[in-house]
Each structure stands twice: as C-alpha cells, then as structure tokens.
Structure 1
Amino acid sequence: MSDINPMAESEPIEPTDASGMLAKNWWAILIRGIAALAFGLCAFVLPGATLVSLMVFFAAYAAVDGVFSIVAAVRAARLGEQWATLVFDGLISLTAAAILVIWPDISIQALIVLLATWAIMTGLLEIGAAFRLKTEHGRVWLGLAGVASVLFGVALIVAPFVGALVVTWWLGVYAAVFGLTMVSLAITLKGRLSHQPAA
C-alpha cells in the first residue's frame, strides 16, 4: 500500500487567484514603485516647481503607472486570471495623464480635484485588491498603498486651496510612501514566486 498522499499530487503548482497573478507580475509592480519613488524624488529636489512642472511630473508618472497596469492586465488575461481591476486602474491613470496633456492651462484648483479623484479611486481599487491577496503574498503592503492613496486624496479635498508648492510637497511624500510599499510588495511577491515548488 502506497504512502503517497493523492491529494498532494492534485495541488496546483502556481495559484490562479489574485495572489498568483500578482506574483507572476511582480516586475510590473516593482517598476510602478520605482516610478513613484522617482516622482517623489523630483518633487523634493525641485520644491519650487511651477504648476507646469508639477503637471509634467505627474502626467509622466501617471502614464507610466497606467501603462504597466495595462501590461499586467494583458498578461493576466492571457493566463486566464483576473484582469478587470488592473485594466480599470490603468485606465484611470492614463485618463488623468491625458487630461493634463490635453488641458495644459489647468488651474491649481482643477489640478487638485483631478489629483484627489485619481488618488481616491486608485486607492479604493488597491484596498479591494488587498482583501483578495493572501497575507503571505504582501496583503499588508498593498493595503497600505491603497490607504496612502485614499488619505492623500482626502487631504487634497479637505484643503482644496493650497498652493502649487504645498501640493508638490504632498505629492512627494505620497509618492515616496506609495513607492516604498509597491517595492516592498514586489519583493514579497517575487519571494513567494521563487518558493513555488517545481513541477
């Protein structure tokens, strides 16, 4: 009589849920984190940035963030995994970037409304995704990124008439926190993926 547990043979090598999908796309999350850190660094290095400079920085970051969200979604779709949230997240960022490119003479108040809307919507998506992520795959990091986004958006709504310099500083702090959580999430996911047993 064999001592081999038949259930062990039937366990999937790689999960096909949200945790598995994110683990396979850890590199895209890492690039999003690095882009956020670079954006935050620019905000601190150039604290006296004009409104135009602020828009250029944010549009570039939102475009990079959106593109890599879409890339991750396409890869997930090809593998038959969940992709709708990533597409929605990417489209929000790309839309925000497009608005700034199409409307270059946007006022500081309109920019703050745009930033607040973008931050809250993406933050809520990240928090929702965190609940679908396994704890060992970095649920805390994704949740913290979502909370940071929502808090940043709420702060902009509470103080809608702050100047461009203050918004630049706030963006720098937010981008630094968001970037660190994304990099930490990517490292955690890569570690979980490398620990998957070989077929």
Structure 2
Amino acid sequence: MDMKRSFLDDPATDPLVLGTRAVRTMLVLRAVLAVAFGLVALFLPDLTLLALAIAFGVYAIIDGVATVIDAFRRRRRTRWWLGLLGGLAGVAAGVIALIWPGITAVALAIVVGIWAVVTGLAELATAFRLRRARGRIWLLALAGALSVAAGAVILVWPEAGAIGLAVLIGVFALVYGATLGALAVTLRPLTR
C-alpha cells in the first residue's frame, strides 16, 4: 500500500474536514455571492433576459474560478479533478451567458441546468469521499443534492420563461448559499 497516497486520501487530512480558515473563507465568499444573486433574481423577477444572463454569467465565472483554485490546491488528492470539472463547468456556463446574453430563456435554462447538475455531482462526490470524516460534511452533500435537483427541474421545464427561471434560480441560489454558509459556520478545526 502506497503510504503517501493513503495519507492524501485520508478524509481526516482534507482541508474541508480540517476546517481551515482558507476553506471557511472560500465557502463564505461562495455563500454570500449565491445569496446576493438569489436576492437579485427574486426581488427583480421581471429583469430582462439580458440582465439575468449577465448576472448569472458573472456569478458562475466567480464561483467557477473559486472552485478551480480550490481544486488545484488539492491536486495531490486522487479525485481533485472532480472539483476542477465543476469549476470549469461554472466558468464555461458563465462565459456562454456573457458571450450570448440575448439567448432565449430556454437556452439559458439549459445552460443553468447543466451547470447546476455538474456542480452538484462534484459536491456530492466530495461529500461521499469524506463521509467517514467527523463534522458537518452532510451539509456539502445537501448543497450538492439541492444543486442536482434544481438543475434537473430546470432541464425538465426549460420553457418556464425568464421570470419563472429567475424565481427558480433565485430560490435555489438562496437555499444553496444558506447551506454553504451553514457549512462554513460549522467547520471547526479538528482536535486530536
């Protein structure tokens, strides 16, 4: 058995489980951005599709870049590429939304739905890998499950229209942001 690999794959050594300050800060940043985006989408549901596409594009790029950076920080782990995949999906979705902001509500719904499913699956995979770790890893699994569920609903009913999409995305972003915020608050360094 490769001792280096077993240490790196040990959930007890994962930054998320250890609750490091950098991980908490990244989670808080992602939570604040998600809640802010959710509030804009809910309180201004009659935004034009152009404004919704731009708001989503900016949010997805920032969230994706943060996730890619986190994945590269943990690149010595065997499944670090899952975070990279989720982050790149976020960046790609954001770039598509910014390059073609006049796309129809259906096309935007498909982009958002795919992004939410990919991001959620990456978070579920991370939570599953860390399932034996002490702490509140179930909150990461909940965030991932919410993301997959919201993405699936969006993909099933993409014709809901810009206002319906804004409300659905707003609710998802608020719940998702609150869940990430709760995870950040409950993370504490493990005592040995």
TM-score bracket for this pair, using the shorter chain length: 0.7 to 0.9
Aligned partners of 2:143, 2:37: CA distance in 1, in Å?
16
> Which of 105, 115, 120 is the matching residue for 1:118?
115
> Displacement, 1:18?
4.6
Q: Which consecutive residues of structure 2, in runs of 5 or more, have no partner in the other structure?
A: 1-6
8 A contact 1:70–1:90 mirrored in 2: yes
> Which of 54, 57, 60 is the matching residue for 1:56?
54
Corresponding residue number in structure 2 for 1:21: 15
Aligned partners of 1:153, 1:139: CA distance in 2, in Å?
21
8 A contact 2:8–2:77 mirrored in 1: no
Q: Percent identity over the alignment? A: 36
Amino acid at match of 2:33: A
8 A contact 2:64–2:89 mirrored in 1: yes
How many residue pairs get matched? Answer: 179
> Displacement, 1:16?
6.1
Matches within 5 A, 1:1-199: 17-18=10-11, 20-22=14-16, 23-24=19-20, 25-77=23-75, 80-81=76-77, 83-134=80-131, 136-189=134-187, 191=188, 193=189, 195-197=190-192
Aligned partners of 2:115, 2:36: CA distance in 1, in Å?
19
Corresponding residue number in structure 1 for 2:3: none
Amino acid at match of 2:172: Y
8 A contact 2:123–2:140 mirrored in 1: yes
Aligned partners of 1:16, 1:186: CA distance in 2, in Å?
22
TM-score with structure 2 setting the length: 0.85
Q: Deviations over 1:80-124 (max 9, x none)?
A: 345322211110100001111222221111111111111111111
For the pair shown, the structure with the greater C-alpha radius of gyration is 1
